[in-house]
Amino acid sequence: MTGDPAEQASKLRALLAEHDRRYYVLDEPQISDAEYDQLLLQLRALEAQHPELIRPDSPTQRVSGSPAAGFAPVTHGIPMLSLDNAFNAEDVASFDQRVRERLGVSGPIDYCAEPKLDGLAVSLRYRQGLLMQAATRGDGATGEDVTANLRTIRSVPLRLHGEVPEEMEVRGEVFMPVAGFARLNAAAMAVGEKQFVNPRNAAAGSLRQLDPGATARRPLDAFFYALGQWRGGEPPSSQTGLLSQLGRWGLRTSPEARLVRGVEGCVKYFAELGARRSELPYQIDGVVYKVNSRADQERLGQVSRAPRWAIAHKFPADEARTVLRDIEFQVGRTGALTPVARLEPVLVGGATVSNATLHNMDEIERKDVRRGDTVIVRRAGDVIPEIVRVLPEFRVKGARPVHLPKVCPVCGSPVIRDPDQAVARCTGGFTCAAQRKEALRHFASRRALDIEGFGEKLIDQLVERQLISTPADLYALNATTLAALDRMGEKSAANLLEALEHSKHTTLARVLYALGIRDVGEATAAALAEHFGSLKAVQDADLEQIQQVPDIGPVIAAHVHEFWAVPDHRKELKRLQDAGLKWAEHAPAARPSPGPLAGLTVVLTGTLGGYTREQAGEELRALGAKVSGSVSAKTDYVIAGAEAGSKRARAEKLGVAILDEAGLKQLLAGRRPGPAKN
Q: Taking Cα atoms as reference points, which of 187, 195, 169 lies closest to residue 74?
A: 169
Which 3 state secondary structure label does DSSP give 37?
helix
Classified as helix, coil or strand, 350 is coil
Q: How far is CA 288 from CA 148, 244, 303, 313, in A?
A: 29, 17, 17, 6
Give the relative orientation of helices 262-275 and 89-103 as an angle to the nearest 10 degrees.
150
Nearest to 350 by CA among 375, 313, 385: 385
Q: Are 278 and 315 in contact (CB under 8 A)?
A: no
565 burial (CB, 10 Å; 0-12 / 13-18 / 19+) is exposed
DSSP state of 401: B
Which of 116, 290, 314, 647 is labelled catalytic?
116
* 104 CB-near residues (< 8 Å, 6+ apart): 645
CA dist., res. 637 & res. 652, Å (int)? 11
Instruction: Kindly give, in sequence order, each residue whose CB lies less than 8 Å from that of residue 655, ignoring residues fewer than 6 positions away.
Output: none
Long-range contacts of 656-664 (CB under 8 A, 24+ apart): 656/631, 661/608, 661/609, 661/610, 663/637, 663/639, 664/608, 664/611, 664/616, 664/639
Query: In the Cβ-directed half-sphere of 153, how many Cα atoms lie within 13 Å?
Result: 27
Cβ–Cβ contacts within 10 Å for residue 28, how many?
8
- The distance of Cα 101 from the centroid of its chain, to the nearest Å, equals 30
Q: Any idea what DSSP says for residue 488?
A: -
Q: How far is CA 117 from CA 280, 285, 315, 576, in A?
A: 11, 7, 12, 43
Q: Report how far Cα 485 is from the mean position of its chain's Cα atoms.
A: 35
Distance CA 263, CA 173 (A): 26
| Residue type for position 432 | C
Query: Interior CA angle at 154 toward 149 and 159, to 5°?
Result: 85
Q: How far is CA 99 from CA 167, 303, 359, in A?
A: 31, 13, 34
Q: Determine whether 268 is an active site residue.
A: no
CA 281 to chain centre: 24
Which of the 8 DSSP states describes residue 652?
Answer: H
Phi, psi of 170 (to 5 degrees): -110, 150
CB 503: neighbour CB atoms within 10 A? Answer: 22
Q: Is 162 exposed, middle or buried (0-12, 13-18, 19+ CB in 10 A)?
A: exposed
Q: Which of 349, 357, 346 is nearest to 321 (CA)?
A: 346
Cα(450)–Cα(497) distance, integer angstroms = 13
Of 335, 267, 229, which is closest to residue 559 (Cα–Cα)? Answer: 335
Active-site residues, by number, are: 116
